[in-house]
Amino acid sequence: MTFLSERPAPAAAATPVRPVEPVDEAQPPTAAVDDPAVDDPAEPGRVDATTEPDADDERFPPQRQSDEVRTQRLLRRATAARSPAARQRLLNEVVLLNQGLALRIAHRYQGRGIDVEDLEQVALLALIKAVRRFEPGRGRAFAAYATPTIAGDVKKHFRDHGWGVRPPRAIQELVLSVRSTASDLSQTLHHEPTVAELAEELQVESDDVAQAMIATQSFTPVSLDAPAPGGEVPVADLLVDETDEFARVEVLSQLRPAIAGLSGRDRMILHMRFIDGCTQSEIGLALGISQMQVSRRLTSILHQLRAQLQEPSRPDAAD
């Protein structure tokens, strides 16, 4: 049986004159124009071993393997095509053949604060970019090349457009490290790792880890009119008004006796951290201790102050 693409091309003299199809300006022009129907340079019915997907690769189920073979054939024909219009038409076929791959990658990230339609558009544009850049015959499957390209563009879209309140770039990068490290430590420690444990594992300051954990909630900002978790009170009613001097005086009147009960060294640590704005490393350098010791001491001091503030008032104090 003879396929249409395998029939010999008619003689040049017998070829009728056809209008030239519009050429995609994004594609580089070629020196000569040939018949758009360019056959696969490989032997008909045969797939080169360097482009055939690995049958044992779990990333390629049977249907994916079939699509991979067709993709490689179309890409080789596009490479051999002399007409820009023919090349563009073959590349369009590759995009249509592999759009399912791009959509599956996009759907992995749905429900994280960005509309799935936007993710699909980003993934499809990344697929087009991968199709244009891929070089067939290099011993690599197209899906293995396109998958990280598409996933990378989707992640970049999250980084650039997914933050409701965009934190600094260093915090954005730390968010990914905190997530992966927290997952590994939870299996090793058999409990959710604390901020101090994450900071020690990542060799960063506890404050940076805390900021990264808070930043994970910045993808989908909560409406101030939405009810607070566990109640019907709007979130706006729970926000602290920093201009309320009466509330500030009340807090200070409760906090002063608790701070007075601390040692001089602990009061110095609090002053350097929250008044002078020193980092934990700077405090440790001034006191001759490590940053981790400062972090643990701060945690202990804050727990102690919180416990004292939550104690019920003594009868004699009320008098």
CATH of the domain at 68: 1.10.1740.10
Mean predicted confidence (pLDDT) in 141-168:
84
Range of lowest pLDDT (6-20, 29-43, 142-156, 230-244): 29-43
Dist CA 87 CA 78 (whole Å):
5
What is the per-residue pLDDT for 319?
41
148 and 185 in one domain? no
122 and 66 in one domain? yes
In a domain, 17, yes or no: no
157 and 173 in one domain? no
In a domain, 66, yes or no: yes
In a domain, 230, yes or no: no
In a domain, 235, yes or no: no
141 and 195 in one domain? no
What is the per-residue pLDDT for 212?
86
Mean predicted confidence (pLDDT) in 32-43:
33
Q: Which of 120, 145, 161 is the last residue of a domain?
A: 161
Dist CA 255 CA 250 (whole Å):
9
Q: How many domains does the chain have?
A: 3
132 and 41 in one domain? yes
pLDDT tens digits, 69-113? 898 899 999 989 889 999 999 999 999 999 999 999 999 988 777
Asked if 39 and 6 touch (Cβ cutoff 8 Å), the reply is: yes
- Averaged pLDDT score across all residues of the chain: 75
In a domain, 10, yes or no: no
Mean predicted confidence (pLDDT) in 158-165:
74
Which of 131, 130, 53 shows the shortest CA–CA distance to 91?
A: 131
Range of the domain at 180: 169-222
Dist CA 70 CA 100 (whole Å):
14
In a domain, 61, yes or no: yes
114 and 57 in one domain? yes
151 Rama class: left (phi>0) / alpha (psi -120 to 50) / beta:
alpha
pLDDT band at 131 (very low <50, low <70, confident <90, very high): very high
84 and 31 in one domain? yes
187 and 95 in one domain? no
Asked if 200 and 291 touch (Cβ cutoff 8 Å), the reply is: no
pLDDT tens digits, 40-63? 333 333 333 333 344 334 445 566
pLDDT tens digits, 245-270? 676 777 778 888 888 888 989 999 99
301 and 209 in one domain? no
What is the per-residue pLDDT for 34?
33
In a domain, 240, yes or no: no
94 and 216 in one domain? no
250 and 281 in one domain? yes
CATH of the domain at 207: 1.10.10.10
What is the per-residue pLDDT for 221?
66
In a domain, 155, yes or no: yes
Dist CA 186 CA 28 (whole Å):
52
303 and 184 in one domain? no
Q: For 191-216, give one letter per residue: b (16+ CB within 10 A) or e.
A: eebebebbbbbbebbbebbebbbebe
